[in-house]
Amino acid sequence: MIGFLALALLPGCGLQMPDFSSTAAAVPEPVVSTVPRGPDPLGDFATTATPGSFGTVNGERARLGRSYNAASGRECREIILGSGSSERAAVACRNASGQFVSSTPLLRGSFR
C-alpha cells in the first residue's frame, strides 16, 4: 500500500517550480520631459559653485552647502538661500544629461 502511494507521488516530482529569483519586478523609468525649460538659476549656481562658496540666485544670497548622492544615485547639491533666520534649503540634482536642475527636497522643513 505504501509503495502504491510512493508511485502515485512520483509523477509530481518531475515538475519544476518556477524560479522567481531571476524575474525581478520591472521598475519603470522616470519620464524625462523633452520640453525645453527656461533658465534655471539654481541649477546654474549648483553647476559652478564649490562647497561653501557664495553667489546670488534670483536676487537672493546663495551658498552651496553640501554635495551628496541621493537614494536615486543622482548627485545632488544643497543650496542655502537667504540669510539669518530666513535661511532655507533648496536642492539641485544632476539629470540624465548631466546638468544640475532644481529638484524638490525630500524632507521639507528639515533644514537645521
Give the tens place of pLDDT for each residue, 11-58.
555 555 555 555 555 555 444 333 344 578 999 999 989 888 999 998
Question: Any idea which residue has 521598475 for its cell?
Answer: 27
Confidence of residue 68 (pLDDT cuts 50, 70, 90): very high
Identify the domain containing residue 76 by its residue range. Answer: 39-107
39: Cβ contacts below 8 Å, ≥ 6 apart = none
* pLDDT, tens only, 73-85: 999 999 999 988 8
Handedness of CA 71, 73, 74, 76 (dihedral sign): positive
pLDDT, mean over the chain: 75
In terms of Cβ atoms closer than 10 Å to its own Cβ (0-12, 13-18, 19+), residue 34 is: exposed
Q: Identify whether 56 is part of a domain.
A: yes
Q: What percent of the chain has pLDDT over 90?
A: 40
pLDDT at 71 over 80: yes
Residue 4 counted as domain residue: no
Domain assignment present for 83? yes
User: Which pLDDT score, from 0 to 100, does residue 72 have?
Assistant: 87
Whether the CA torsion 101, 104, 86, 67 is positive or negative: it is negative
Total of domains in the chain? 1
For residue 71, is it within any domain? yes
Asked if the structure places residue 7 within a domain, the reply is: no
